[in-house]
Amino acid sequence: MNHLFIGNKNYSSWSLRPWLLLREKGIPFSETRIPLYQEDSERALLQHSPSGKVPAFVHHGFTVWDSLAICEYIADIYPEKKCWPEAVDARGFARSISNEMHSGFFAIRNNLPMNCRTKMQFKDITEELSYEIARICEIWRTCRERFPAAGDFLFGPFSIADAMYAPVVLRFQSYGISVGTAEQDYMAAVLSLDGLQSWIAAAIAEREVITDAEIEAYG
């Protein structure tokens, strides 16, 4: 009834977002992994996703694509799962930061590619990268201060906003990005999720290597 098409678990940060939402909200789904940047990838992607990109989600034969649209659709079809915070101001804030992630942070996305197998001290922190890291830390701190609902996540209970930022948590961990105490606590909460741990284990077990997403340890 629910099927998610995803890319390589090691590299596909957009795939992780709806996958983690489904897992953490206990929504049953099956999945197909399409390894990216291989000879047959383009054909396989276009067969299941109109954009030719993953993730794509199929619900009773109806296809929705693009990570945030999929998360919104899941929130619509499972209102009881409370995928967004309930209070209207918290929900507005959660949507703003989720869209900010979806449409921005290009320095982080380009310079610190998600790679669950990597653990290094990344030293080449440009001004642009440093600005984006500081902005993410500000977002996480502000959420915890302004919306101190019960729970360890940005708005208390796990929400779409956390799914959108989970790949950033992985990147900060992989590249040894230093953050403040509140941000460390938030990262620890995300990293302790069973769903995320099982994604990481599957990512580490994958054999494909996408050279462009492999950063040399330097500095």
Ligand X SMILES: N[C@@H](CCC(=O)N[C@@H](CS)C(=O)NCC(=O)O)C(=O)O
Site of interaction with ligand X (CB under 6 A): 7, 12-15, 36, 53-55, 66-68
State both tokens at 155. Answer: 């708005």
Instruction: Using the CB atoms, write b or e for 139-175: b if 16+ within 10 Å.
Output: bbbebbeebeeeebbbbbbbbbbbbbbbbbbbbbbbb
Q: How far is the CB of 71 from ligand X (least distance, A)?
A: 9
Nearest-CB residue for ligand X? 53
Q: How far is the CB of 16 from ligand X (least distance, A)?
A: 9
Map tokens 């915890």 to a residue: 144
How far, rounded to the nearest angstrom, does the alpha carbon of residue 19 sit from its chain's CA centroid? 9
In terms of CB distance, is 54 or 161 closer to ligand X?
54
In terms of CB distance, is 129 or 213 closer to ligand X?
213
Q: How far is the CB of 204 from ligand X (least distance, A)?
A: 18
Q: How far is the CB of 212 from ligand X (least distance, A)?
A: 11
In terms of CB distance, is 55 or 195 closer to ligand X?
55
> Is residue 62 exposed (0-12), middle (13-18) or buried (19+ Cβ within 10 Å)?
exposed
In terms of CB distance, is 68 or 154 closer to ligand X?
68
CB 107 within 8 A of CB 129: yes
